[in-house]
Amino acid sequence: MAYFKKNYSFLFLCCSLFIFISCSEELTTTNKIKSCLANGDWCESIINKQVIAILLPKEIPYLQPFPVTVKLDSRDKESVSQLEIQFSMKKMEMGKNVFNLKKIEDSEYWTTKVVLPICVSGRRDWIVNVVVKTNKLKLERYFEIELK
């Protein structure tokens, strides 16, 4: 009988710990990389009816500010506490290129100005990560962008 009490106690402890961890961790949803061209058109990522789209200008100058707009058409857009966009390159250290976006009032659009560094190798392919944070959820969408 003592053997069963020990096993049930251990099982109860494990279940309690699992519930505590799952309730306290931030939920994150991510998708595969979506390939896009920086051509002045929207690039959308749709997963489970949650749409995140980015808009980059047709021509992007290095070392000069350019506008980036993000459209949120998700279930949690009213509770967004932070929206940021991160630029990086595969297998190339380009420094920290993270920008916070501001919501355009009474819309589903967020915007910011971005300044990108010049890659010494001449590469113009960027991975753009859009990070949407709410009090319950963290959404990340990756876009592979070729700049002109």
Angle, alpha carbons 19-23-26 (nearest 5°): 140
Q: Which pLDDT score, from 0 to 100, does residue 21 have?
A: 35
138 in any annotated domain: yes
- Residue 4 resides in a domain: no
For residue 11, being part of any structural domain is answered with no
**Is 92 contained in some domain?**
yes
Does 141 map to a domain?
yes
Token pair in block for residue 26? 């931030």
Q: Are strands 66-73 and 109-114 parallel, antiparallel or unpaired?
A: antiparallel
User: What per-residue confidence (pLDDT) applies to 100?
Assistant: 97
CATH number at residue 72: 2.60.40.1930
Q: Name residue, tokens 């020990």.
A: 6
Pairing of strands 98-100, 42-47: unpaired
Q: Is residue 7 part of a domain?
A: no
pLDDT at 5: 52
Nearest to 67 by CA among 104, 94, 34: 104
Which residues are registered as beta bridge partners of 128? 87, 143
Does some domain include residue 15? no
Q: Which domain holds residue 127?
A: 26-146
Give bridge partners of residue 83 from the DSSP assignment. Answer: 132
In a domain, 8, yes or no: no
Q: What's the total number of domains in the chain?
A: 1
> Which has the closest alpha carbon to 85: 72, 73, 102, 101?
101
- 3-state secondary structure at position 104: coil
Handedness of CA 66, 126, 70, 55 (dihedral sign): positive
Report yes or no: 34 and 143 within 8 Å, Cβ to Cβ. Answer: yes
In whole angstroms, give the CA distance from residue 74 to residue 36.
21
pLDDT at position 7 is: 52
Each residue's pLDDT, cut to its tens digit, for the chain (148 residues) gives 555 455 555 544 443 433 333 333 333 455 567 788 778 899 988 887 788 999 999 888 889 999 999 998 756 666 888 999 999 998 888 988 999 999 998 888 999 999 999 888 988 899 999 999 988 888 899 999 887 7
**Distance (Å, whole) CA 17 – CA 66:** 47
Give the pLDDT score at 77: 62
